[in-house]
Chain A
Amino acid sequence: MRGILSGAFLLQALRISVPYVLAALGGVASERSGVINIALEGMLLVGAFGAAVGALASGSALAGLGAGVLAGVALAALYGLAVIRWRADQIVCGVAATLLALGATRYFLKVFYNSTSNSPRIPSTDGLGWAILVGAALLAALAEAGLRRTAIGLRLRAVGEHPEAARSVGVRVAPLRWLGVLLSGALAGLGGVWLAFDQHGFVANMSAGRGFIALAAMILGGWRPLGALGACLLFGGAEALQLRLQSSGMGLGAGTVQALPYLITIVALAVRGRASVAPRALGT
């Protein structure tokens, strides 16, 4: 078991956690305002694709970052249009937005790079990657403080708990929900940027369920930014551990470890039962 808690292991756990953390924070932003977000998976994916396209087209990692975040925001805007402006069902539209991201990234992969599997390799982005890693932790703390200690944060929470109450004191609901949803697009998009940078390019369906893990982490963390951060680190640590054990020839089945975050979340939901801490007006 030597080396399990080594620096390399911790670093690997952190690297695995970064997209989870960013997407989960996005989930918190959206869901605390009352909008369910199962489109996180799609936002991660378009973020990664945007980052690859931006970086390849401009040769600049920074442009890649910008393009990735913008792509996430664009998908979030489409989602917001459907569920905030037109009040369509949030779960159906979340599934659709993710399907759209899957199809569209593969379509444009073919159009831009004539490939069904991956983009060309993008140039080194190491410095920016580190910045994102540090940024993710800072963002979690910032989000926690922002929700509790700013007027906007209070209003966002109020809108997610009881929109009529907010409306009755002159707080407009839709702009705050837009804020939450667009923020979730930006954050999950940034998570996608990290993925593309970390793997030096875009691969079809490279989000591979990470958006749903982030959703699970957000629930496990009680819809609080720091709680979600903790859950993400837990999931990331478990995954890193699995990789370690696998390479050392021992360990549980890979599938079981993959399933672990989801199983933990199901158990947590079952234990927590009806005393849920979910925002009251979620999904309305």
Chain B
Amino acid sequence: MSRTRIGRIGDGSRKLDSGSRFEISRSVPVLLPPALALLVALAAASLLVVAYGQSPLHVYRLFLDGTWGNAYGIGQVLFKATPLVFTGLSVALAFHAGLFNVGAEGQLTLGAFATGLVGAALPPATPAAIALPLAVGAGFCAGAAAGAVPGALKAWRGAHEVIVTIMLNFVILAELSDLGKRFYDRESVHTAHVVAGATLARAGAFFPSLRGSALSGAALLAAATAIAVWWLLQRTAAGFRLRAVGLGAEAAATAGISVARQTVIAMALAGGVAGLVGANAVLGYKGYYEEGFAGGVGFMGIAVALLGRNHPGGIVAAALLFGTLSQGGLAINAVVPKEIVEVLQAVIILAVAVSSATVRRQAAQLATGARA
């Protein structure tokens, strides 16, 4: 999480002072933990591939060819990275306010459900300029509601948001399986197709080489959201309030910032951003909400935010990495089981968590000497 310090003016030559909230010394390399994690993951991958009796080099080659080796692969990587950008930003937004959002999975599911319903309920002739904002906005609002609940319980009842969001994930998934039945097409677990105006254009419509890829305008929405989140956090008073609460709730309260309010706002924003996933999965890909489509994208958002150091730019990069892994799994499935990729994702998360904790500790030691 790199942060630009406000008020660096007066010495134009000074570089941006960026560092995580845990980092005290500027000399701490922000990129070290992710780099270490990738090395560990590469080693683990090689081990698993060799154990399966295949040559790592061959598998890596297949992996690269199937992802960044051709236009279709790139399109699929971007398509798979898109929801991860949303969930990564969701986790990061909450994190900046000192909250841990483990609920992106439920939030994005509810959001996508709302997007699907609204998209399908519109009159068939609704123009895109109206249909798209309505469908996407419905997803944001539903996700925001799902986020605001744990936020409010935390703010006014002191219920820990981690537990509540975990529990709420299951509540939403289970309840939707009941509720959904009233809306699903006959004998299916998906809603009706959204109206034409609410579908997002596929990239293949503009770039012939991307034909067949599910990449859609949702990727642009993800990029725009990343920029918007950065802007909010770094350049606005609203974002500063949020961060102030995350850095020291009591000091923020003393200065007249309502911690309860910021907590609800942060969780609602986090939920709303997660709720945008429906734009990719519903409006850009399937055309309808389908039960179980999330498949852990929300949990993966925690990893993306962690790997991206809670910085929007880092999150986009981390999402691309995880998108690459996910697409690469399919590319190598003929040679080694694609489940290898799931193992790798977990290994990367563990390695990043461990190495950033270690780096952080050493930085603290450098700064304050021996720990008491």
- Nearest-CB residue, chain A, relative to B345: A99
Contact across chains for B175 and A255 when beta carbons are under 8 A apart: yes
What is the CB-to-nearest-CB distance from B138 to chain A, in angstroms, rounded to a whole number? 21
A147→B27 CA distance, assembly (Å): 45
Tell me if A58 counts as interface (CB < 8 A to partner B): no
What is the CB-to-nearest-CB distance from B4 to chain A, in angstroms, rounded to a whole number? 24
A45→B235 CA distance, assembly (Å): 45
A104→B163 CA distance, assembly (Å): 26
Q: How many residues of B contact A (CB 8 A)?
A: 48
What is the CB-to-nearest-CB distance from A4 to chain B, in angstroms, rounded to a whole number? 22
A107→B171 CA distance, assembly (Å): 29
Report the stretch among B198-206, B274-282, B298-306 that lies at the interface: B298-306
A160→B163 CA distance, assembly (Å): 18
What is the CB-to-nearest-CB distance from B240 to chain A, in angstroms, rounded to a whole number? 25
Cβ-neighbour of A91 out of B102, B153, B175, B361 (below 8 A): B102
Contact across chains for A219 and B163 when beta carbons are under 8 A apart: yes
Residues of B within 8 A of A272 (CB): 159
Contact across chains for A255 and B179 when beta carbons are under 8 A apart: yes
Contact across chains for B153 and A270 when beta carbons are under 8 A apart: yes
A87→B159 CA distance, assembly (Å): 25
What is the CB-to-nearest-CB distance from B340 to chain A, in angstroms, rounded to a whole number? 6
Tell me if A269 counts as interface (CB < 8 A to partner B): yes
What is the CB-to-nearest-CB distance from B190 to chain A, in angstroms, rounded to a whole number? 16
Tell me if B29 counts as interface (CB < 8 A to partner A): no
Contact across chains for A110 and B339 when beta carbons are under 8 A apart: yes
Known pairs A111-B337, A253-B178; A262 contacts B342 (CB<8 A): no
A104→B296 CA distance, assembly (Å): 15
Residues of B within 8 A of A86 (CB): 354, 357-358
Known pairs A96-B349, A102-B342, A254-B177; A270 contacts B159 (CB<8 A): yes
Tell me if B330 counts as interface (CB < 8 A to partner A): no
Q: Mark A258-272, 1 if CB is under 8 A from B, else 0.
A: 110011011001111
What is the CB-to-nearest-CB distance from B283 to chain A, in angstroms, rounded to a whole number? 25
Contact across chains for A266 and B167 when beta carbons are under 8 A apart: yes
- Nearest-CB residue, chain A, relative to B347: A100
Cβ-neighbour of B166 out of A92, A215, A255 (below 8 A): A215
A268→B337 CA distance, assembly (Å): 43
Tell me if B350 counts as interface (CB < 8 A to partner A): yes
What is the CB-to-nearest-CB distance from B157 to chain A, in angstroms, rounded to a whole number? 5
Residues of B within 8 A of A78 (CB): 350
What is the CB-to-nearest-CB distance from B354 to chain A, in angstroms, rounded to a whole number? 5
Give the number of residue pairs across the A-B interface with Cβ within 8 Å.
Answer: 151
Tell me if B52 counts as interface (CB < 8 A to partner A): yes
Residues of B within 8 A of A212 (CB): 166-167, 170
Tell me if A256 counts as interface (CB < 8 A to partner B): yes
What is the CB-to-nearest-CB distance from B282 to chain A, in angstroms, rounded to a whole number? 20
Q: Mark A233-271, 1 if CB is under 8 A from B, else 0.
A: 000000000000000000001111011001101100111
- Nearest-CB residue, chain B, relative to A42: B346
Tell me if B353 counts as interface (CB < 8 A to partner A): yes
Residues of B within 8 A of A177 (CB): none
Chain B residues 268 to 308 lying within 8 A of chain A, measured CB to CB, are: 296, 299-300, 302-303, 306
Q: Mark A106-126, 1 if CB is under 8 A from B, else 0.
A: 110111000000000000000
What is the CB-to-nearest-CB distance from B21 to chain A, in angstroms, rounded to a whole number? 13
Contact across chains for A82 and B350 when beta carbons are under 8 A apart: yes
What is the CB-to-nearest-CB distance from A67 to chain B, in angstroms, rounded to a whole number? 19
Residues of B within 8 A of A263 (CB): 167, 171
Tell me if A216 counts as interface (CB < 8 A to partner B): yes
A103→B345 CA distance, assembly (Å): 9
Tell me if A277 counts as interface (CB < 8 A to partner B): no
- Nearest-CB residue, chain B, relative to A110: B337
Contact across chains for A97 and B350 when beta carbons are under 8 A apart: yes
- Nearest-CB residue, chain A, relative to B177: A255
Contact across chains for A269 and B159 when beta carbons are under 8 A apart: yes
Known pairs A89-B353, A263-B171; A255 contacts B178 (CB<8 A): yes
A96→B350 CA distance, assembly (Å): 6
Contact across chains for A93 and B350 when beta carbons are under 8 A apart: yes
Residues of A within 8 A of B361 (CB): 87
Contact across chains for B353 and A88 when beta carbons are under 8 A apart: yes
A254→B176 CA distance, assembly (Å): 11
Chain B residues 3 to 19 lying within 8 A of chain A, measured CB to CB, are: none
Residues of A within 8 A of B317 (CB): none
A6→B171 CA distance, assembly (Å): 29
Chain B residues 155 to 173 lying within 8 A of chain A, measured CB to CB, are: 157-160, 162-164, 166-168, 170-171
A118→B299 CA distance, assembly (Å): 24
Chain B residues 316 to 372 lying within 8 A of chain A, measured CB to CB, are: 337, 339-347, 349-350, 353-354, 356-358, 361
Contact across chains for B163 and A265 when beta carbons are under 8 A apart: yes
Contact across chains for A87 and B176 when beta carbons are under 8 A apart: no
A14→B178 CA distance, assembly (Å): 26
Cβ-neighbour of A104 out of B159, B166, B171, B343 (below 8 A): B343
Cβ-neighbour of B171 out of A82, A109, A266 (below 8 A): A266
A102→B341 CA distance, assembly (Å): 11
Given contacts A38-B162, A262-B167, A276-B160, 6 further A-B contacts (CB under 8 A): A93-B350, A103-B344, A104-B339, A104-B343, A212-B167, A215-B166
Give residues in B with beta carbon < 8 Å to A. 48, 52, 100, 102, 153, 157-160, 162-164, 166-168, 170-171, 174-179, 181, 296, 299-300, 302-303, 306, 337, 339-347, 349-350, 353-354, 356-358, 361
Which are the 10 A-B pairs with shortest beta-carbon distances?
Answer: A103-B342, A274-B158, A100-B346, A253-B178, A255-B178, A96-B349, A107-B339, A269-B159, A259-B174, A88-B353
